[in-house]
Amino acid sequence: MLSKIQETADFLLSKIPTRPKTGIILGTGLGNLVTQITDKIEIPYEIIPNFPVSTVEGHSGKLIIGKLGNVDVLAMQGRFHYYEGYDMKAVTFPVRVMKALGIEKLLVSNASGGVNPDFEIGDLMIITDHINLFPEHPLRGKNFNELGTRFPDMSEAYSKELIAKAKQIAKENNIKVVEGVYVGTTGPTFETPAEYRYFRTIGADAVGMSTVPEVIVANHAGIKCFGISIVTDLGVPGKIVEVTHEEVQQIGNSVQPLMTLIMKELIQ
């Protein structure tokens, strides 16, 4: 694993002229932020050594290196989901590579189903904490001390400083944000009403199929994290309706510009 990380990092270092300290992982269909990146170099995942091979036809996504405002960034447009069949080492491999490239802060976005009855469709939820319900832990197996400690602390998995700044930015720009706990589960099914109720009972505000593995590995690697979720549907008793991927994407699209604004300002 160590030599693979190094090989991939060396490949990318040979291609990129800058040394970004900020990494971004954009949820599927949440690529709006990328349109704001200037002076950019795009590298499709297919040509990056050791990157997971896509399970879907066509594009699996790309790395975009460039500037947001005057800050150097490295963005992943599209991520690897556990439900696609990758093991957790593959899902989180890009975060290992980011660390090897010198990334110090990681911003992540996703879509989720709200289980907090106060939430509304289209809300932006700043992730304050998470619950890991994936059946495989990304750090299971031999620990490499070069990458991080055996038993990582998770008391501030999402940086309080970045959360406070994001809230301030939202306030200044009149953007409604909510805060909450994200529970990560495998999918690919959306939840049954009983499962939504269960997630609410155990302390979640929203449920989704990503983010938790990457944030665990980032914490292991000493990278500060910030996460924001677009609530695309509601798993709240009385409000549960049929959910489709298309609707999730549509709501995601309509709220993206606000999320982009918060992330861009935060990065500045």
Which residue's CB is nearer to ligand HPA, number 179 or number 265? 179
Neighbour count for residue 117 (Cβ, 10 Å): 13
94 cis-preceded (ω within 30 degrees of 0): no
3 state DSSP class of 91: helix
The region of 9-17, 96-104, 116-124, 206-214 touching ligand HPA under the rule CB under 6 A is: 206-214
CA-to-CA distance for 180 and 162, rounded, in angstroms? 15
Which residues within the stretch 224-263 sit at the binding site for ligand HPA (CB under 6 A)? Answer: 232-233, 235, 243, 248
The region of 47-55, 160-168, 203-211, 253-261 touching ligand HPA under the rule CB under 6 A is: 203-211
Smallest gap, in angstroms, from Cβ of residue 35 to ligand HPA? 22
Which one of 32, 112, 116, 256 is in contact with ligand HPA (CB under 6 A)? 112
The residue among 23, 20, 78, 38 whose CA lies nearest residue 227 is 23
Q: Does 191 bind ligand HPA (CB under 6 A)?
A: yes
CA-to-CA distance for 60 and 56, rounded, in angstroms? 7
Phi, psi dihedrals of residue 178, rounded to the nearest 5°: -115, 170
CA-to-CA distance for 214 and 220, rounded, in angstroms? 10
Smallest gap, in angstroms, from Cβ of residue 169 to ligand HPA? 24
CA-to-CA distance for 211 and 79, rounded, in angstroms? 9
Smallest gap, in angstroms, from Cβ of residue 229 to ligand HPA? 9
Smallest gap, in angstroms, from Cβ of residue 201 to ligand HPA? 16
Total binding residues for ligand HPA by CB under 6 A?
A: 14
Report the interface residues with ligand HPA, using CB under 6 A. 111-113, 187, 190-191, 207-209, 232-233, 235, 243, 248
